[in-house]
Amino acid sequence: MNIDYEEIMTSKVPALHGRDAINNNLVLETLALHGPLIKYDIFKELKSKGIRYYPTISRRVDDLKRRGYIDVAGKRLITVGKRREKSPTYALTWRGFIASLMIETVIEDVITVMENDPLLWFDLPYKISKDFVINVLKELFTSREIGIMAHTLLSGFLRALPRNIESVEQEKYLAYLVPALVEAPEIREKFEKKDLSKLLKIPGLLDLALDLVTDYEDQILELLKGIKNIKKELASRKTEEPMV
């Protein structure tokens, strides 16, 4: 694919550009591939990649958290001297996940990253779960296909952003996937060529579909109820109008 990712990264993902880009890249890659870690474990993972001092990584973690790329995922008991204390574990947010897709080792194993990261799955609608989404992807696509689609969506998503990824609230990211999909007909074609009957093998799919249809039906009935009330009110007012 002829996509200048370096140019996109420079303008749309500030954390991966500039003086701290290399170390930010290393932290995001480590959390993507290993899941939630405390600061010291991130440092241990990166010693083999030339990181010599723990404060270097501690500062990068704090900065990435401040900018919304990572967040606290939980707590873990550690021993500091003779004390036992709880240390926060960190994981990628959606902003961090999207940024991490600029890293080749991450884009090659998107499913593992999705399985490792707990913060991507909060507040999912209806009964959609992490296992459900991952099972659907695994059933329909190979790892290579998922990587190719992720590359395409990433490019479209970043191009659709009005400014950089830090200037848009993470809750609004979904809206920018729509133009990305519009500009990626090859993704729709991949879905159209798949045998969607395979999805029936996924536990809970029919229950989820039934819930979605039922919720939609309830919304329509509620809307009709409101329309009937308005109609009734208009009719009663008409009968009250004086005869001319």
The answer to whether residue 127 sits within a structural domain is yes
**What's the whole-number mean pLDDT along residues 113-135?**
77
pLDDT of residue 2: 44
pLDDT of residue 143: 84
By residue range, what is the domain housing residue 223?
205-239
The answer to whether residue 244 sits within a structural domain is no
Q: Does residue 73 sit in the same domain as residue 123?
A: yes
Secondary structure class of 67 (helix, strand, coil): coil
For residue 202, give the nearest of 114, 135, 127 by alpha carbon: 135
70 burial class (0-12, 13-18, 19+ CB within 10 angstroms)? buried
pLDDT of residue 95: 95
Strand partners, 90: 37, 72
Q: Does residue 113 sit in the same domain as residue 214?
A: no
Q: Does residue 227 sit in the same domain as residue 190?
A: no
Residue 192 has pLDDT above 90, yes or no: no
Q: Does residue 215 sit in the same domain as residue 140?
A: no
**What's the whole-number mean pLDDT along residues 70-81?**
88
Q: Does residue 99 sit in the same domain as residue 166?
A: yes
pLDDT of residue 37: 96
pLDDT-derived band at 213 (thresholds 50, 70, 90) equals low
Q: Does residue 176 sit in the same domain as residue 81?
A: yes
For residue 202, give the nearest of 146, 138, 148 by alpha carbon: 138
pLDDT of residue 144: 84
What global pTM score does this model have? 0.73
The answer to whether residue 45 sits within a structural domain is yes
pLDDT of residue 201: 61
pLDDT-derived band at 202 (thresholds 50, 70, 90) equals low
Sign of CA dihedral 112, 118, 122, 126: positive
- What's the total number of domains in the chain? 2
- Of residues 201 and 175, which shows the higher confidence score? 175
CATH number at residue 75: 1.10.10.10
Give pLDDT tens digits for 45-58: 999 999 999 999 99
Q: Does residue 98 sit in the same domain as residue 210?
A: no
Candidate from 58-67, 101-110, 195-204 with smallest mean pLDDT: 195-204
Q: Taking all residues of the chain, what is their mean pLDDT, rounded to a whole number?
A: 82
For residue 72, give the nearest of 113, 118, 26 by alpha carbon: 118
pLDDT of residue 234: 82
Q: Does residue 232 sit in the same domain as residue 140?
A: no
